[in-house]
Amino acid sequence: MQAAAGNRPLVRVAHVSKHFGAGETRVDALRDVSLEVQPGQVVALLGPSGSGKTTLLNVIGCITEPSSGRLELDGEAVYDGRWLRGDLRKLRLEKIGFIFQFHNLLPFLSSTDNVAVVLSLAGLGTAAARRRAVELLDYLEVGHRRDAMPAKLSGGEAQRVAIARALANRPRIILADEPTAALDSERARIVMDLLRKLATEQQAAILAVTHDEKIFDRFDHIFHLRDGRLDNQEP
């Protein structure tokens, strides 16, 4: 699904560069990168190892500070030569959900509690947090596994629970780092179809770092990085 014309981008990266070190040891991880992601779009960041994909994802996730440039999330300028928010943890909690290659579920908590714990940390009461968790698990068609421990879940089920956890605080920006690398072809397609559903129904922007060729047809747009520079490619 392409975003409707005229929508304000949920992610706008403008002339962002990032270097590590100085002098002869300086490494330019990102070089004058600009991109936009609209509501309802699912886009990929592709490139060889060391091309800057993860650095760019971490910049957008407000984990890595750029060396220069501007970053806007959901219409808010959050970086412009410096961080414009004092509490980046709160910013991430408000605006961003993270999904990783490995689900990283807490092994001693059920599916419901793995999702609810995020809401509890955000200050929601226990009962309300569990209701929201069950609602999300049902939405992602894994509600029947709400009481299961992570060790009892299949890879696809565990990744759905991880997606529910990422959505707990209703972020409209979802950042995914190799979300299907640990899944077989069928489960990978299921997970990508779920992300597409989220983008469409919640008008979220989803950016995924991936090398997984079996899901390339699930993206609206591919941003290709090489040596820290960006080339745009359509799928």
Residue 100: beta bridge partners? 177
Say if residue 140's pLDDT is above 90: no
Asked, for residue 194, whether it belongs to a domain, the answer is yes
Asked, for residue 160, whether it belongs to a domain, the answer is yes
Q: Rounded CA gap, 129 and 132, in Å?
A: 5
Asked, for residue 77, whether it belongs to a domain, the answer is yes
Asked, for residue 4, whether it belongs to a domain, the answer is no
Which amino acid is present at 228?
G
Q: Each residue of 208-228: pLDDT tens digit?
A: 988 877 788 889 999 999 989
**Burial category of 50 from C-beta neighbours within 10 Å (exposed 0-12, middle 13-18, buried 19 and up):** middle
- Residue 136 has phi, psi (to 5 degrees) of -70, -40
Buried b (16+ CB within 10 A) or exposed e, 124-142: beeeebbebbbebbebbeb
* SS3 (DSSP) at 124: coil
Whichever domain contains 46, its CATH number is 3.40.50.300
Q: Which residue has the tokens 């569990």?
A: 130
Pick the closest to residue 219 from 33, 45, 13, 22 (CA basis): 45
Pick the closest to residue 218 from 195, 201, 198, 202 (CA basis): 195
Q: How many CB atoms lie within 10 A of CB 118?
A: 20
Asked, for residue 183, whether it belongs to a domain, the answer is yes
Give the global pTM: 0.84
Asked, for residue 76, whether it belongs to a domain, the answer is yes
Q: Rounded CA gap, 215 and 96, in Å?
A: 23
Q: Each residue of 78-95: pLDDT tens digit?
A: 999 999 988 898 888 888
Q: Rounded CA gap, 58 and 55, in Å?
A: 5
Say if residue 4's pLDDT is above 60: no
Q: Each residue of 38-81: pLDDT tens digit?
A: 999 999 998 888 888 999 999 999 999 999 999 999 999 999 99
Asked, for residue 89, whether it belongs to a domain, the answer is yes
User: For residue 70, what are the domain limits?
Assistant: 11-233
- Count of structural domains, the chain: 1
Asked, for residue 102, whether it belongs to a domain, the answer is yes
Average pLDDT, stretch 153-180?
Answer: 86
